A and B are shown apart, each in its own frame.
Chain A
């Protein structure tokens, strides 16, 4: 069995940067949406109607899709970090990684269906 140090996987930096960039993207969209809810809606019914009309607007659809893509990438790095921290068995860790990817991919496809 190899007992030497296993280091230099070479992807830690990219994941870290992706998580920061996607966090900023999500923050911008979150602020825009909170502002929309605060300033446009006075009742639940009008919120629902204005929400619908808002999502008929193409830039909003594109923005929402970018938000979900950022969320999926952000969640992938975050959830993988949790598995890396707490799961020591490599076989189980790999299975959990695959399950996470499938779940997040499914969520992404579902977000496309909902938005478009």
Chain B
């Protein structure tokens, strides 16, 4: 049994005129190792008005992205013993807040949808599925694992300034995922749509995205590969 201190961002637009921080001192069992467990304990035993998203609680669904002591991450993957107390919890930055730790992800998913996140192939359908060799599949490693938790995009200053125009690292990672897919036939179209001073080129290689990604992916590298393809196409 041990105690941990938390300071959590609270805001209910129906009752609060402005946001505030509320402190909690939580009793935890030895087997309570992850931050999400502590959050669920707070909700269950200390304050049932606290709102946050969570689902799979094992780093697969990406719904519990949260800003912990100034750094984005998934609550379900964060070890409590590595966190400095009081643990300051805020919603991921740069997106409109719905309530407490819950943000409105519409802007984020609008950018994701705009890169046409599906394989485009207008050729006649084969009798069975479209095949891909294991070697070609290799290129998708390190890209396809993205769970769209928005930790990267909401840690990116370029996304903070222009969330409506700059795609953000997550959408750009997925843009590369479909450009790199050998089954996709729309590479040129995709590159045309990215050749825009805002959509791709607001990325100034700050690399916050690669730093915070809970799946240890590197969107900056994917963005670099898109730029390399543009160079190959132009020279």
Binding site for B on A (CB under 8 A): 5-13, 15-17, 81, 84-86
Contact = CB atoms under 8 A, between A and B. Distances in A.
B183 to A, nearest CB: 25
Contact of B234 (A7, A8, A13, A86): A13
Contact of A85 (B158, B231, B234): B158
B136 interface: no
13 contacts: A7-B165, A8-B195, A8-B196, A9-B196, A11-B195, A13-B195, A13-B201, A15-B197, A15-B201, A17-B234, A84-B162, A85-B161, A85-B202
Contact of A12 (B114, B162, B199, B231): B199
Nearest to B230: A13
B195 A86 contact: no
Contacts of B165: 6-7
Contacts of B230: 13
Contacts of B34: none
B41 interface: no
B198 A10 contact: no
Contacts of A85: 158, 161-162, 202
Interface in B177-207: 192-202, 204
A111 B161 CA distance: 35
B54 interface: no
B227 interface: yes
A17 B231 contact: yes
A112 B200 CA distance: 35
Given A11-B197, A13-B227, A85-B158, 19 more contacts: A5-B114, A7-B165, A7-B198, A7-B199, A8-B195, A9-B196, A11-B195, A12-B197, A12-B199, A12-B201, A13-B195, A13-B230, A13-B234, A15-B197, A17-B231, A17-B234, A84-B202, A85-B161, A85-B162
Interface in B213-235: 227, 230-231, 234
